[in-house]
C-alpha cells in the first residue's frame, strides 16, 4: 500500500460523512417550499420579473446640467427619490439601481408583480422639480423700426392736438380743469386705490419731486392760481399744469400744491428681458410640505418647511431680495412669485396660487415624495404580464424536473451503483444550490433556471469523469478502495480545468448589466462551484464509505462484468 498516506483514514471518512449528512439535512430544510424561519423571516425563492410578472424599466439620467463632480451624488439622489415613489406604489420588493456605462448614467427600476405598468411609469416619471428663483431685468434696447417711427410721429401729433384742444378749453374756463383732467388725463396716478378720480390733483410737493421741466413750470414760471398757457413737454408727454397754491413748511422751504392733465407720448412697447436666476434652494432642501388654507381667502396654499440648509438659504435669498419678487417654479412653470416684504427666518414658506384643493394635495404629496434632482427619460422597458410569468414558471419547473429524471435514469442505467450514488449526490447538490438561492438571495429568472439546469449537466460531468476513472483503475486490477482513491485523484485536474473555463465565461457574463444574462451567469456560477464541492466531498465520502461494505463489492455493482477482467477486491 504505497498510496496509504494519500488515502483518507476511516475515521476521517466517517467524520466527513457526518458533516455531509448534517449539511444535507440543513439544505433540505432550507430548500423545501415553506422554508424555516431561522433568519427572522421566511426564506423563499425570489422570483424574477419574467417568472412572476412585472416591469423592468431603464431610465437615462440627464446630467448635462450637473457639474461633473456632483454627478454621482445627483444620480444617487435621484435613485433615492425614485425608490420613495416606487415604494408608494405598493409594489413588493421593488429594486432601484444606478448603473453607469461609459458616460451614461442609468437608473434601473424593477417592479415585480406590478399590475399597472402605465401608472407606475407615470408616477416615477412625474418630476415635481421645485425651484426657487430670483430675477434680474434688463430693458431690451432695440432700435425703432421705420414702422415704429412712423407710428410714433403720428401718435405724438395726435396727442399734441388733443392736448391743445383741452388747453384751449381750460384757458377759456379754468373751472373746467377738474372735469377735463378726469376725462382726459392719462396719468395713472389720477385714480386712487378705490377707483376715485382725483381731478388731476397732485397734492403738496417740494422741489425735487418732479422731473425738471415740470418743476420749472410749477415752481418758477407759474404763480398761485395760474394755469400754464402752453403745453409743458416732459419725458412722459404733454402736461397742462395749474399751480393752485403754495406755502412754507416749518423749515421755510417752499411747498406747492398743483394739478395737471397728462397726454402721454408714444412709448416703445416695453420689452424687458426678465431673467429668472436659479438659486441654490430647491426641492432638495425641502423637509416637508403640507396643504393649508389661507385664513383670509380660504384658498388652499402649500406650506413648505425647509431643512437647516434650506432655512439658511431661504433667509439669505429673502434678505437679498427685499422688495423684489422671488418665484417658485414647479416643473419649470412659475406657480407663484410673491414680493418679499422682509427677511424670512425659520425656514417656512407658503406657496399661494390658484390651486384647487386636489391640486394642492397632489403637489404637496409629490413634493414630499421628493423632487428629482436630475431629469430622467425612459429608454428601455420590459414588462411581463402575470399570466405569462406563471406559465413560464410552471413550464420551466416541469422541464427541469424532466431533465433531472432523464439524467437519473441514464446514470443508474449506465453506471449502476455509482450512478445511483451520483443521483444521491445530485439530490444533495440540488438542495444545496436551492438553499444558496434562497439565502443569498438569488433572484431566479427563466434564464437563471436554464443556468441551473445546465449546471446539473456539469455536476454530472464531474461524477462521470470520476466513475470512468474508477472503472479504468478496476480494469487495471486495482483494489476497489485504491481505485476509488485513484479515480478521484486523477479526475480532479480535468474537473478543475474544465470548470474554471466555465467560471471565466460566467464572470464575464456577469459584467453585463442585463438581468437576463446576469441571472444565467449567477446560477451557473453557483452551480459550478457547488458541483465541484459535491463531487469531491459528497460523492467521494459516499463511495468510500459504501465501498467498504462487503455487499457492495461485487463487480456488477460497478457496471463492469467479471468476465472482462480479474478484479481483486
Partner 1 sequence: MKVIHYRSMWYIISGTIVGASIIALLVFGLRLGIDFTGGSLLEVRYPQGIAIPQAADIKATLEKEGIPSPVVQLTDQNGALIRTKDLTEEEHQKTVDALKTAISGQGEEKIAVEVEELRFESIGPVIGKELRQKAGYAMALVLVLIILYIAWSFRKVSKPVASWKYGVIAVVALIHDVGITFGVFAVLGKVMGIEVDLAFIAAALTVLGYSVNDTIVVFDRIRENLARQGSGHFEETVEESIVQTFVRSINTSFTTLLTLLALFFFGGESIKWFMLALLVGIGVGTYSSIFIASPLLVSWERFIHKRA
Out of 271, 345, 501, 565, name the contact with partner 1 by CB under 8 A.
Answer: 501
Q: How far is the CB of 121 from partner 1 (least distance, A)?
A: 5
C-alpha cell at 92: 413588493
Cis preceding linkage at 468, omega within 30: no
Instruction: Using alpha carbons only, give the angle 331, 96, 375 rounded to the nearest 5 degrees.
Output: 20
- Told to check if 64 binds partner 1 by CB under 8 A, we report no
List, in order, residues 6 or more apart from 311 with CB less than 8 Å away: 345, 346, 347
Q: With CB under 8 A as the contact rule, which of the stretches 131-139, 222-230, 297-305, 377-385 interacts with partner 1?
A: 377-385
- By CB under 8 A, the residues from 511 to 550 that bind partner 1 are 511-512, 514, 516-517, 520-521, 524
- Told to check if 86 binds partner 1 by CB under 8 A, we report no
Nearer to partner 1 by Cβ, of 427 and 498: the residue is 498
Nearer to partner 1 by Cβ, of 28 and 400: the residue is 400
Give CA separation, 530 vs 447, 507, 537, in Å.
19, 16, 10
Q: Are 470 and 418 in contact (CB under 8 A)?
A: yes
- Told to check if 508 binds partner 1 by CB under 8 A, we report yes
- Told to check if 402 binds partner 1 by CB under 8 A, we report yes
- Told to check if 465 binds partner 1 by CB under 8 A, we report yes
- By CB under 8 A, the residues from 231 to 270 that bind partner 1 are none
Q: How far is the CB of 395 from partner 1 (least distance, A)?
A: 4
- Told to check if 114 binds partner 1 by CB under 8 A, we report no
- By CB under 8 A, the residues from 422 to 461 that bind partner 1 are 446-447, 449-450, 453-454, 456-458, 460-461
Out of 32, 399, 424, 439, name the contact with partner 1 by CB under 8 A.
Answer: 399
Range list of β-strands (E), 283-384:
286-293, 300-306, 326-330, 333-336, 348-351, 376-384
Cis preceding linkage at 548, omega within 30: no
- Distance of alpha carbon 319 from alpha carbon 343, whole angstroms: 4
What sections of 136-245 are H helices per DSSP?
146-172, 177-184, 212-215
- Distance of alpha carbon 464 from alpha carbon 346, whole angstroms: 76
Nearer to partner 1 by Cβ, of 155 and 404: the residue is 404
List, in order, residues 6 or more apart from 140 with CB less than 8 Å away: 271, 272, 273
Nearer to partner 1 by Cβ, of 428 and 460: the residue is 460
- By CB under 8 A, the residues from 267 to 326 that bind partner 1 are none
Please list the residues that pair with 286 across neighbouring strands.
306
Out of 73, 92, 104, 565, name the contact with partner 1 by CB under 8 A.
Answer: 104
- Told to check if 498 binds partner 1 by CB under 8 A, we report yes
- Distance of alpha carbon 38 from alpha carbon 79, whole angstroms: 32
- By CB under 8 A, the residues from 476 to 495 that bind partner 1 are 490, 493-494
Nearer to partner 1 by Cβ, of 282 and 515: the residue is 515
Amino acid at each position: 500500500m504505497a498510496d496509504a498516506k494519500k488515502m483518507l483514514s476511516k475515521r476521517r471518512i466517517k467524520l466527513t460523512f457526518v458533516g455531509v449528512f448534517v449539511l444535507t439535512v440543513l439544505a433540505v430544510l432550507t430548500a423545501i417550499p415553506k422554508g424555516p424561519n431561522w433568519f427572522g423571516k421566511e426564506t423563499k425563492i425570489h422570483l424574477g420579473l419574467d417568472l412572476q410578472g412585472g416591469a423592468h424599466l431603464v431610465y437615462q439620467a440627464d446630467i448635462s446640467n450637473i457639474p461633473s463632480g456632483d454627478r454621482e451624488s445627483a444620480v444617487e439622489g435621484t435613485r433615492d427619490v425614485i425608490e420613495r415613489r416606487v415604494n408608494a406604489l405598493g409594489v413588493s420588493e421593488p429594486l432601484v439601481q444606478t448603473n453607469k456605462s461609459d458616460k451614461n448614467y442609468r437608473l434601473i427600476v424593477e417592479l415585480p408583480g406590478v399590475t399597472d405598468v402605465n401608472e407606475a411609469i407615470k408616477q416615477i416619471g412625474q418630476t415635481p422639480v421645485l425651484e426657487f428663483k430670483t430675477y434680474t431685468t434688463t430693458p431690451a434696447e432695440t432700435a425703432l423700426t421705420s414702422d415704429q417711427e412712423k407710428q410714433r410721429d403720428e401718435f405724438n401729433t395726435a396727442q399734441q392736438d388733443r392736448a391743445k384742444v383741452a388747453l384751449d378749453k381750460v384757458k377759456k374756463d379754468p373751472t373746467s380743469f377738474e372735469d377735463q383732467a378726469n376725462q382726459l388725463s392719462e396719468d395713472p396716478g389720477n385714480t386712487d386705490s378705490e377707483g376715485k378720480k382725483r381731478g388731476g390733483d397732485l397734492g403738496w410737493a417740494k422741489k425735487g419731486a418732479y422731473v425738471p421741466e415740470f418743476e420749472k413750470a410749477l415752481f418758477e414760471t407759474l404763480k398761485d392760481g395760474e394755469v400754464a398757457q402752453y403745453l409743458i413737454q416732459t419725458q412722459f408727454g404733454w402736461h397742462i399744469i395749474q399751480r393752485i397754491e403754495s406755502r412754507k413748511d416749518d423749515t421755510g422751504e417752499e411747498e406747492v400744491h398743483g394739478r395737471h392733465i397728462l397726454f402721454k407720448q408714444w412709448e416703445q412697447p416695453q420689452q424687458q428681458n426678465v431673467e429668472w436666476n436659479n438659486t441654490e434652494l430647491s426641492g432638495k432642501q425641502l423637509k416637508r410640505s403640507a396643504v393649508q388654507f389661507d385664513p383670509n381667502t380660504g384658498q388652499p396654499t402649500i406650506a413648505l418647511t425647509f431643512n437647516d440648509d434650506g432655512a439658511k438659504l431661504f433667509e439669505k435669498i429673502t434678505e437679498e431680495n427685499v422688495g423684489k419678487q422671488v418665484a417658485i417654479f414647479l416643473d419649470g412653470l412659475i406657480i407663484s412669485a410673491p414680493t418679499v416684504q422682509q427677511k424670512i427666518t425659520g425656514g417656512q414658506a407658503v406657496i399661494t396660487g390658484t390651486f384647487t384643493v386636489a391640486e394642492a394635495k397632489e403637489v404637496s404629496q409629490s413634493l414630499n415624495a421628493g423632487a428629482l434632482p436630475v431629469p430622467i427619460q425612459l429608454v428601455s422597458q420590459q414588462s411581463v404580464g402575470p399570466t405569462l410569468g406563471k406559465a413560464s414558471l410552471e413550464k420551466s419547473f416541469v422541464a427541469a424536473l424532466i431533465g433531472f429524471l432523464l439524467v437519473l435514469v441514464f446514470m443508474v442505467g449506465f453506471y449502476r451503483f455509482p450512478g445511483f450514488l451520483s443521483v444521491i449526490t445530485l439530490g444533495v447538490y440540488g438542495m444545496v444550490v436551492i438553499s444558496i438561492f434562497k439565502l443569498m438571495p438569488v433572484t431566479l429568472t427563466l434564464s437563471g433556471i436554464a443556468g441551473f439546469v445546465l449546471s446539473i449537466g456539469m455536476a454530472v460531468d464531474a461524477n462521470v469523469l470520476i466513475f470512468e476513472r474508477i472503472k479504468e483503475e478496476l480494469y487495471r486490477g486495482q483494489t476497489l478502495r485504491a481505485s476509488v482513491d485513484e479515480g478521484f485523484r486523477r479526475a480532479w485536474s480535468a474537473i478543475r480545468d474544465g470548470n474554471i473555463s466555465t467560471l471565466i465565461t460566467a464572470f464575464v457574463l456577469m459584467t453585463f448589466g442585463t438581468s437576463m444574462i446576469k441571472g444565467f451567469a449567477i446560477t451557473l456560477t453557483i452551480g459550478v462551484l457547488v458541483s465541484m464541492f459535491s463531487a469531491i466531498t459528497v460523492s467521494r465520502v459516499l463511495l468510500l464509505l459504501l465501498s467498504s461494505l462487503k455487499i457492495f463489492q461485487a463487480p456488477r455493482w460497478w457496471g463492469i462484468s467479471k468476465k472482462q477482467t480479474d478484479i481483486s477486491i
